[in-house]
């Protein structure tokens, strides 16, 4: 990456900054990293992030190409998502009161659309685009103070995601699927993905409209009622905070509405439904593949989106990502730190003040187990009855029953 920096001092400062982020420091900011590198102050690193001239997009492209070359395989997926960084003022470019799942609601923050390359070997961020809200894009004073270029105009998050996917495809990045949440399930983005020759598994809402059969439009919640009971299959999808996660899965063949251009729909479009085994809550994914894909493969792709959620420090409660609020351009991801065990003990509350010593005749503490006492048995849900079902790889797409034709009232 030496060609991305025009001066030797800038290149050395960038190398020291990266090395500092990889160190096990108490905190990662310009002050702590500069002290670890032997600098007298953070001015050199702050100059690198705020005023130095270097091609950050070229650095990102080089790092993305290196990551794809080491992680790439035939089952790679591209994950479109967004992350947010809370701000203390609206001076920063794109900072406004807006909703973000990263901060857990509406807050003053910056939102960036990200593109992640994920395989069974790991995942890496290969693209990002800062989201500029409509009021910020139309505010001339905000654009002048924040230094927004004149050619940067308002673009929706799906439009930014489509531009990131097109740029990755131009660089030679190839993947089998694109994964995203409900924000990125619009028809226009799905059409862009299909034009690139990539399949997709995108989450949709319960009121998402689709065509289950020719001339029959309904919502995804209504389409789920067409799935026969024998088409649901209980499959383990990983580990959660309460143990193994088991859901009931099924897929229903639907008609595609996102064919690029005027060509024929030569792929396979299905609705993937997930049902909670106890509450019955339904979740839906709209899928398209050039070739038929088994149910187990679609489930694995749908679950791949949570890889970046578990590994992102910004999604951990109570900790800000990147550098401190006073440092310029908070765009660098820090190392994740676990929460000490003594700060969070679920299921147990301690009384304030010193604990009274036990006296003879006192009842045993329900939260204390003696050495010889057996631990209390936890409540477990009854095991679901086993049914003889075909393996997931052989499950056929459930086809909705035909609609009986009604005679016309004017027919003789």
Q: Is the same domain home to 188 and 169? A: no
Q: Which helix (H) or strand (E) holds 163?
A: helix 157-170
How high is the pLDDT of residue 109?
93
76 inside domain = yes
Asked if 114 and 80 count as a contact pair (C-beta separation under 8 A), the reply is yes
Q: Is the same domain home to 133 and 74? A: yes
Region of residue 260 (phi > 0: left; psi between -120 and 50: alpha; otherwise: beta): beta
Q: Is the same domain home to 147 and 196? A: no
Q: Is the same domain home to 63 and 155? A: yes
For 371, the token pair is 């050495």
Alpha-carbon span 330 to 353, nearest angstrom: 41
- Which range of residues forms the domain containing residue 140? 59-175
139 inside domain = yes
For 112, the token pair is 């960036």
Q: Is the same domain home to 122 and 63? A: yes
160 inside domain = yes
- Coil, strand, or helix at residue 224? helix
Q: Is the same domain home to 164 and 184? A: no
Q: Is the same domain home to 91 and 72? A: yes
Q: Is the same domain home to 132 and 146? A: yes
Q: Is the same domain home to 198 and 161? A: no
Instruction: Please list the pLDDT of the chain residue by residue as tens digits (412 residues).
Output: 888 888 899 999 999 999 999 998 888 889 999 999 899 999 999 999 888 988 888 998 999 999 999 998 888 999 999 999 888 888 888 899 998 887 888 999 999 999 999 998 889 999 999 999 999 999 998 888 888 888 889 999 999 999 999 999 999 999 999 999 999 999 999 999 999 999 999 999 999 999 887 778 999 999 999 999 999 998 877 666 666 777 999 999 998 888 887 666 778 999 999 999 888 999 999 999 998 899 999 999 998 887 665 445 444 433 333 444 333 333 333 222 232 322 232 333 334 444 455 555 555 544 444 444 444 444 444 444 444 444 443 344 444 455 555 554 454 3
How high is the pLDDT of residue 397?
46
Q: Is the same domain home to 104 and 197? A: no
137 inside domain = yes
- pTM (2 d.p.): 0.73
Number of domains present in the structure of the chain: 2
Domain boundary among 283, 308, 333: 308
Question: Can you tell me which residue has the tokens 């960084």?
Answer: 85
How high is the pLDDT of residue 240?
62
216 inside domain = yes
How high is the pLDDT of residue 336?
29
17 inside domain = no
Asked if 262 and 219 count as a contact pair (C-beta separation under 8 A), the reply is no
User: What are the two backbone dihedrals, phi and then psi, of residue 379, each rounded to the nearest 5 degrees?
Assistant: -75, 130
Domain boundary among 261, 283, 308: 308
What angle do helix axes 187-195 and 157-170 make, rounded to 10 degrees?
0
Domain boundary among 127, 150, 175: 175
192 inside domain = yes
Alpha-carbon span 198 to 329, nearest angstrom: 34
Asked if 296 and 235 count as a contact pair (C-beta separation under 8 A), the reply is yes
274 inside domain = yes
Q: Is the same domain home to 109 and 207? A: no
How high is the pLDDT of residue 305?
81
């Amino acid at each position: 990456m030496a060609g991305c920096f025009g001066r030797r001092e800038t290149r050395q400062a960038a190398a020291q900054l990266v090395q500092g982020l990889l160190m096990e420091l108490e905190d990662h900011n310009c002050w702590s990293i500069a002290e670890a590198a032997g600098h007298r102050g953070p001015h050199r690193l702050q100059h690198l992030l705020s005023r130095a001239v270097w091609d950050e997009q070229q650095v990102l492209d080089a790092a993305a190409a290196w990551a794809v070359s080491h992680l790439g395989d035939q089952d790679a997926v591209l994950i479109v998502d967004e992350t947010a960084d809370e701000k203390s003022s609206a001076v920063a470019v794109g900072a406004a009161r807006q909703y973000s799942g990263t901060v857990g609601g509406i807050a003053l923050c910056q939102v960036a659309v990200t593109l992640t390359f994920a395989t069974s070997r790991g995942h890496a961020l290969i693209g990002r685009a800062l989201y500029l809200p409509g009021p910020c894009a139309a505010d001339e004073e905000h654009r002048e103070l924040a230094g927004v270029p004149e050619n940067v105009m308002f673009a929706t998050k799906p439009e930014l995601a489509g531009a990131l996917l097109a740029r990755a495809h131009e660089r030679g990045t190839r993947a089998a699927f694109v994964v995203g949440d409900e924000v990125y399930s619009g028809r226009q983005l799905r059409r862009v993905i299909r034009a690139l020759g990539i399949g997709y598994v995108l989450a949709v809402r319960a009121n998402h409209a689709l065509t289950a059969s020719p001339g029959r439009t309904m919502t995804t919640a209504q389409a789920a009622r067409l799935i026969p009971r024998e088409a649901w299959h209980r499959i383990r999808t990983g580990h959660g905070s309460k143990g193994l996660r088991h859901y009931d899965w099924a897929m229903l063949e639907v008609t595609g509405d996102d064919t690029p251009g005027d060509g024929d729909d030569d792929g396979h479009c299905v609705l993937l439904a997930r049902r909670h085994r106890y509450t019955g809550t339904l979740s839906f994914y709209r899928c398209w593949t050039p070739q038929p894909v088994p149910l187990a493969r679609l489930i694995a792709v749908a679950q791949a989106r949570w890889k970046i959620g578990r590994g992102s420090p910004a999604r951990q409660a109570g900790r800000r990502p990147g550098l401190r609020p006073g440092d310029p351009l908070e765009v660098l991801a820090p190392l994740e730190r676990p929460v000490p065990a003594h700060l969070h003990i679920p299921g147990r509350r301690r009384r304030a003040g010193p604990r009274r010593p036990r006296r003879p005749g006192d009842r045993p503490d329900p939260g204390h187990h003696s050495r010889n006492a057996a631990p209390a048995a936890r409540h477990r849900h009854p095991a679901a009855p086993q049914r003889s079902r075909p393996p997931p790889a052989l499950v056929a797409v459930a086809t909705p029953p035909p609609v009986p034709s009604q005679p016309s009232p004017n027919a003789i």
